[in-house]
């Protein structure tokens, strides 16, 4: 079973003998891109021509993440998986809103052979998925919306959601009974010093509720530390946050001016289980 379902009629998608495309019993067919990913976002489900992050935003995200600034968070996520999930059988894992695949690659490397994973990644941004597929040929990447996930019912053992939107009904549908949801959300002081360049009055926000309907909470870890991105990496960090829309030219220039700038990062890592 491929685990894919047709985004048009929701019947199962089957890889055809040529190995170049998938099709369903209604003869809807979807080609595998040269980079190895599958585009399961039909034009009628798009809100714009190229939804999601554009190429510039994707490159900014890659530049910042591959500098290792969020590596401690990725390590904590990997530890949560190895400490709580069974290692007796292969786990099907979906990286929801995976972007260019940094967390999929990093976590797969950290877990190693402790837990055998079949990794999937989904994002609405085609540029990001193409980049992810090039970097990690052993994973299965798909262009699709979090509100219309093109996967079979009860296919996944684990869904990873790092700073990504989700749909509780879809999460319940694609996860197996007693499947796990591992969520990373910003803590109250996340990127505090960056926000000081943009907002006149910076306040701690309340912890975001992360428990999706139909799930029971298992654990929460708050991880805080400082990063020291250089001016170019600060520019990339700004581009990958919602704050970019509020940062005028003066704020952007001021943010890049200091040679060194310590910025707080604050993550809440929560594990829950489907009831």
- Residue 24 is assigned to a ligand binding site: yes
**CB neighbour list of residue 12: distance below 8 Å, 6 or more residues apart:** 1, 2, 4, 5, 6, 24, 25, 152
- Residue 101 is assigned to a ligand binding site: yes
Place of tokens 């990725």: 74
* Closest C-alpha among 153, 170, 130, 147 to residue 39: 130
- Residue 70 is assigned to a ligand binding site: yes
User: Which of the 8 DSSP states describes residue 41?
Assistant: -
Residue 240 vs residues 53, 233, 274: alpha-carbon distances, Å: 9, 11, 30
**CB neighbour list of residue 133: distance below 8 Å, 6 or more residues apart:** 33, 35, 36, 37, 101, 139, 141
Partnered with residue 118 across adjacent β-strands are: 92
- Residue 28 is assigned to a ligand binding site: yes
Tokens encoding 235: 């520019």
- Residue 99 is assigned to a ligand binding site: no
Separation CA 48–CA 93 (nearest Å): 28
Separation CA 159–CA 274 (nearest Å): 11
Contact 162, 97 (CB under 8 A): yes
Tokens encoding 110: 């950290």
Separation CA 41–CA 143 (nearest Å): 6
Q: Around Cβ 45, how many Cβ atoms within 10 Å?
A: 15
Separation CA 237–CA 258 (nearest Å): 15
Binding site as annotated, residues for Zn(2+): 6, 9, 24, 28
Annotated binding-site members: 6, 9, 24, 28, 70, 100-101, 190
Binding residues for S-adenosyl-L-methionine: 70, 100-101, 190
């Amino acid at each position: 079973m491929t685990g894919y379902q047709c985004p048009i009629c929701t019947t199962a998608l089957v890889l055809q003998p040529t190995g170049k495309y998938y099709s369903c019993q209604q003869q809807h067919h979807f080609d595998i891109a040269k980079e190895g990913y599958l585009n399961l976002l039909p034009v009628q489900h798009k809100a714009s021509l190229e939804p999601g992050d554009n190429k510039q935003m994707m490159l900014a995200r890659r530049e910042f993440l591959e500098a290792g600034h969020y590596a401690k968070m990725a390590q904590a996520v990997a530890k949560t998986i190895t400490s709580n999930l069974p290692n007796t059988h292969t786990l099907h894992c979906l990286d929801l809103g995976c972007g260019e695949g940094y967390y999929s690659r990093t976590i797969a490397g950290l877990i190693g052979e402790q837990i055998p994973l079949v990794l999937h990644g989904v994002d609405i941004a085609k540029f990001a998925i193409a980049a992810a597929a090039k970097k990690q040929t052993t994973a299965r990447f798909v262009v699709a919306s979090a509100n219309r996930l093109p996967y079979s019912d009860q296919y996944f053992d684990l869904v990873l959601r790092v700073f990504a939107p989700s749909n509780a009904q879809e999460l319940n549908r694609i996860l197996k009974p007693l499947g796990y949801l591992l969520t990373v959300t910003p803590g109250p002081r996340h990127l505090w010093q960056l926000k000081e360049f943009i907002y006149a009055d910076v306040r701690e926000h309340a912890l975001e509720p992360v428990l999706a309907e139909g799930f029971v909470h298992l654990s929460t870890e708050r991880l805080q530390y400082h990063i020291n991105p250089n001016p170019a990496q600060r520019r990339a960090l700004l581009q990958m946050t919602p704050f970019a829309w509020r940062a005028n030219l003066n704020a952007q220039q001021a943010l890049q001016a200091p040679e060194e700038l310590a910025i707080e990062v604050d993550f809440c890592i929560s594990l829950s289980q489907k009831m």
